[in-house]
A and B are shown apart, each in its own frame.
Chain A
Amino acid sequence: MTSTLEDAAPRWYSHPYNRANFYRLAAALTWVPRRLRLAVARQVGRLAPSLMPGERAAIETSMARFTGATGPQLEKLTLRVFTDFAMCFSDLVSTNRQPTTLRSPHLGHVEGIERLTTTLSGGLISLTAHVGNWELAGRLLAGKSSRPTHVVVAPDELRELERWVRRDGEGVRFVSRARPTVSLELLAALRRGEVVGVQGDRALGTRGDIEVPFFGRPARFPLGPFLLSSGVKVPLLPAFCLLDSQYRYVVKIAEPFVAVRGEEEAAARTWVAALEDIVRQYPTQWFNFFDIWEPFAR
């Protein structure tokens, strides 16, 4: 039924950081004190815009729309995206891998923790985006909820990268969305009262996308999380993990909501509103290095 659309779907964007050597380099710096490591990451991040003109242009487009900035201010914000990303990336392959006890000095407060408490029983869809250190958000929530967490991921072009970013543990299990029957597995997990973690900001390029205004202009978002929610009547919990000015991570949990059968589009709009709210607060931690409004343009 959908094979034509699926076949026509473009290959997914892969940013130039997705190279094993970058991961090796970042992982090799694990022994360096974190403050120094992040300073090195910022320096590397400063070089990135000139090496990645396509990504720089895409980020400028996003920053202009998110903030209204122009001229030198826009340039400053664009550079900041690359330096913020470099720091979060450095933590992704080092701090994120540490046991909870070693990570805790880097964690600030959790905003909206009471919302997690109200969803502690029954299945739950943790909805996040490529903002801040999203992978850490998933691990922290898994630790707080003490329920198995299934994180849905795109199949990586490079299997070699999985050892750094997709290591199962601490109740977290990574599930590739490549298999069409993965949704059956997720429905079953939700019915068992477990947690499913999904990224809700990157369109798939298939009929499983829905168009929703994002900062005033239509953008495509994946519909799957909302169909899962309405299918088993479990709440969606938007959650984000952002780097603050003291280089500590703050977790922000938005109001949970349930998608109603047949009204999944309304649920998608609720999610996009929560995402916009976070991006307004932390525009330079928006780590989608492509044009979100024209994701498949070549």
Chain B
Amino acid sequence: METDKVLEELKDIMVERLKFSPSRLPDLSLATALPKDIDGSLGLDSLDFIELSIGIEERFGFVIDEAQDLAPHFHTLGTLVEYIQSRLA
């Protein structure tokens, strides 16, 4: 799946599951960080990460790998897109 397409799907999840305002979407890029403790990030907390991971599984149809350290994959939208693409490959 193309990078832009994966990113759009992630934005949909942000709006539908994480209750983001659609007006924030144009500001999001692959460089946007996710966890709340990073300056300029989306400010996701631990509950958001539960919602996001479940949303990804449902949207993309795979189970997130339980054997890996997942935090690096959920660092920015770009690393998350790469992770999803690698799982779909």
Contact = CB atoms under 8 A, between A and B. Distances in A.
Interface of A: 1-3, 6, 177, 179-185, 187-189, 191-192, 206-208, 223-224, 227-228, 231
A3 B46 CA distance: 12
Contacts of A187: 50, 53, 64, 66
A223 B47 contact: yes
Given A1-B18, A1-B20, A187-B53, A181 B64 contact: no
Contact of B36 (A180, A189, A227): A180
Nearest to A1: B43
Contacts of A191: 63-64, 66
The dominant DSSP class at the A interface is helix
A224 B66 contact: no
B54 A180 contact: no
Interface residues of B, number: 28
Given A6-B36, A185-B70, A231-B54, A1 B46 contact: no
Given A191-B66, A192-B66, A183 B54 contact: no
Contacts of A180: 35-37, 44-46, 48-49
24 contacts: A1-B44, A2-B36, A2-B43, A3-B43, A6-B43, A179-B37, A179-B46, A180-B44, A180-B45, A181-B46, A181-B74, A183-B47, A183-B49, A184-B53, A184-B64, A184-B70, A185-B70, A187-B50, A188-B70, A207-B47, A223-B47, A227-B47, A227-B51, A231-B54
Contacts of A231: 50, 53-54
Contact of A177 (B44, B46, B70, B71): B46
Interface of B: 18-20, 35-37, 42-51, 53-54, 63-71, 74
B71 A181 contact: yes
A1 B42 CA distance: 6
Contacts of A3: 36, 43
Contacts, number: 84
A184 B63 CA distance: 13
Contacts of A1: 18-20, 42-44, 48
B46 A183 contact: yes
A162 B26 CA distance: 44
Nearest to B69: A185
A208 B42 CA distance: 17
Nearest 4 CB-CB pairings of A with B: A3-B43, A191-B66, A183-B46, A188-B66
Nearest to B24: A1
Nearest to B14: A1
A198 to B, nearest CB: 11
A6 B47 CA distance: 12
Contacts of B69: 185
